[in-house]
Amino acid sequence: MKPPAFAYHDPATIEDAVGLLGRLDNARLLAGGQSLMPMLNMRYAFPDHLIDLNRIEALAGITEDDGRLRIGAMTRQRDIADHPLVQARLPLMIEALGHVGHRQTRNRGTIGGSLCHLDPAAELVAVAANLDAAIEIAGPAGTRMLAMAEFPAGFMTPAIEPDEMVTAVHLPLPARGHGYRFLEMARRHGDFAIVSVAVILALDPNGRIDHCAVTLGGAAAIPLRMPEAEAILADGDPGPALFKRAAATARAIEALEDAQVPAWYRRQIAETLMERALLAAHARAVEGSAA
């Protein structure tokens, strides 16, 4: 299959790209292309202009500043997985990236492209929600920051204007020695997640839960933080009984339903994966506290 006709642009700076977005009607940004190119070839997308971001060097790279990682929007998923800062401080993301497509797609796919495509089953979308990421957005008026909780405007629709673009994601670093777990159920490894769960859990010196974050991916139209589960976890002694009670909150979510997966099944998977992820994250937190 072949894509519809479009005009091609390859700016060298962020300012040039933003300028093109402001001048051109019906323009789409090309990052890694792992989602957009199939959509073009299958005639799901019909842009009149394609703006290729691959020559903009300022959009790639990973830096640490004041307890946060800044990852440029054009940073490849493979480069994120191989980066020592991410490996040392964000093992949850490393674990999640192992579920993203295959090696070939991770070589080209970018974090910014994944976030902007905003597929509810996307692993990096769930991780960004779990870590309370902040999204850096450039537009004609300059740069603004948007909390990941406010970034999804709806199903596969980010809350950015047509003349804006994502330039980076800022990720707060969890406490050293924290526990974590990313689990996913898919028909085959590399397929879209039916449901995924991301958990971060940190303990205080007495072994009680000091911080926790639980996020479901693939279960609903947008990534779901689970505040009811987090409240249960923050108010009890960590252990199997508490984790089972927290996981039971998944029974109340408004789950997606399609021809292959009914909503009740997604809720059941979400509950099971949450319980398993909490048990594993707690075990890692205990090990990290003892180290």
CATH of the domain at 47: 3.30.43.10
Q: Which amino acid is at 161?
A: E
**What's the domain count of the chain?**
3
Contact 291, 178 (CB under 8 A): no
d(CA 29, CA 205): 47
- Residue 73 sits at φ, ψ, to 5 deg, of -60, -30
Distances (CA, A) of 112 to 40, 50, 67, 72, 75: 19, 16, 21, 7, 8
Domain termination site, one of 150, 172, 194 = 172
Asked if 284 and 207 sit in the same domain, the reply is yes
Tell me if 27 is assigned to some domain.
Answer: yes
Rounded to a whole number of angstroms, the CA Rg of the chain reads 19
Asked if 73 and 155 sit in the same domain, the reply is yes
Tell me if 1 is assigned to some domain.
Answer: no
Domain termination site, one of 145, 172, 199 = 172
Asked if 224 and 247 sit in the same domain, the reply is yes
Q: Which amino acid is at 64?
A: E
CATH of the domain at 122: 3.30.465.10
Tell me if 2 is assigned to some domain.
Answer: no
Asked if 193 and 129 sit in the same domain, the reply is no
Asked if 103 and 168 sit in the same domain, the reply is yes
Asked if 154 and 186 sit in the same domain, the reply is no
Q: What is the pLDDT along the chain (291 residues), one digit of tens a residue?
A: 688 899 999 999 999 999 999 999 999 999 999 899 889 989 989 999 999 999 999 999 999 988 999 999 999 999 999 999 999 999 999 999 999 988 899 999 999 999 999 999 999 999 999 999 999 999 999 999 999 999 999 999 999 999 999 999 999 999 999 999 999 999 988 888 999 999 999 999 999 999 999 999 999 999 999 999 999 999 778 999 999 999 999 999 999 999 889 999 999 999 999 999 999 999 999 998 876
- Residue 242 sits at φ, ψ, to 5 deg, of -65, -40
Output the pTM of the full model: 0.95
What is the residue range of 284's domain? 180-290
Asked if 165 and 65 sit in the same domain, the reply is yes
Tell me if 116 is assigned to some domain.
Answer: yes
d(CA 53, CA 165): 10
Return the SS3 of 167.
strand
Nearest Cα neighbor of 282 from 184, 228, 211 is: 211
Asked if 24 and 67 sit in the same domain, the reply is no
CATH of the domain at 206: 3.30.390.50
